[in-house]
Chain A
Amino acid sequence: SAVISQKPSRDICQRGTSLTIQCQVDSQVTMMFWYRQQPGQSLTLIATANQGSEATYESGFVIDKFPISRPNLTFSTLTVSNMSPEDSSIYLCSVEGDTDTQYFGPGTRLTVL
């Protein structure tokens, strides 16, 4: 299994500011994924982050709003830029383990005022 940590675990931010969320995995993984879970909703994939290449974004998500870095095989960051209250969500990173299972980090709970 993969052990994933995220920082911060939660934050309250002002409208118009940006927040960078970190995701650290205890083993090297090829792909890391970033998901968003809006209040009371299911999870939606934001982007796939591969080391050494630009992230691939899903429909409805753009790099200017959600820039992603993937500097090595154990770490990634997601930035939520120019935040509005609609960005209030839980942001989760996930990785694929070696037993065909996808593991999720503990999530970052973001509230935008």
Chain B
Amino acid sequence: ELKVEQNPLFLSMQEGKNYTIYCNYSTTSDRLYWYRQDPGKSLESLFVLLSNGAVKQEGRLMASLDTKARLSTLHITAAVHDLSATYFCAVDGETSGSRLTFGEGTQLTVNP
């Protein structure tokens, strides 16, 4: 059974600081996703990582994938208040057929 763990689950940080969210998963994967969810809203796709060593960046967010370590990271650079949201990683396991297993989510609060 595929398990996906995120840490930290709660993150409070100051504007301008850097931090990293970690996503570990238990079996080989085809794809790894990062999503953002604002309160009361649906999920917004941030990144899809397909292969070992993949790195994608959009604005202050950068995601990477290490399939050998079964680890993905979401790095936040110089955080701003608008980044406050819950971030989920989700894994499409090798035998999952596009069925996603989600991590618990990281609730990020960026304080002025």
**Beta-carbon contact of B100 and A45 below 8 Å:** yes
Q: Please, which residues of chain B bring their CB within 8 A of the CB of A101?
A: 33, 45, 48
Per-residue CB contact flags for chain A residues 29-43 toward chain B (1 = under 8 Å, else 0) read: 001010000000111
CA distance A106 to B41 in the complex (A): 7
| Distance between A24 CB and nearest chain B CB, rounded to angstroms | 15
**Beta-carbon contact of B48 and A104 below 8 Å:** no
Q: Please, which residues of chain A bring their CB within 8 A of the CB of B42?
A: 92, 104-107
Question: How many A residues are at the interface, by size bracket?
Answer: 20 to 34
Which one of B57-65, B73-81, B102-110 contacts A?
A: B102-110
Q: Please, which residues of chain B bring their CB within 8 A of the CB of A107?
A: 41-42
**Beta-carbon contact of A100 and B31 below 8 Å:** yes
Contact partner of B102 (CB less than 8 A), chosen from A42, A48, A96, A106, is A42
CA distance A101 to B47 in the complex (A): 8
Q: Please, which residues of chain B bring their CB within 8 A of the CB of A104?
A: 35, 42-43, 45
Q: Which 3 A-B pairs have the closest CB atoms?
A: A104-B43, A42-B102, A43-B102
Q: List 9 A-B contacts (CB under 8 A).
A: A31-B98, A41-B104, A42-B104, A43-B88, A92-B42, A100-B50, A101-B48, A102-B33, A102-B45
Given known contacts A33-B98, A104-B42, what 16 new A-B pairs fall within 8 Å (CB)? A33-B100, A42-B88, A42-B103, A42-B104, A42-B105, A43-B90, A44-B102, A45-B101, A48-B98, A48-B99, A100-B31, A100-B50, A101-B45, A102-B98, A103-B45, A107-B41
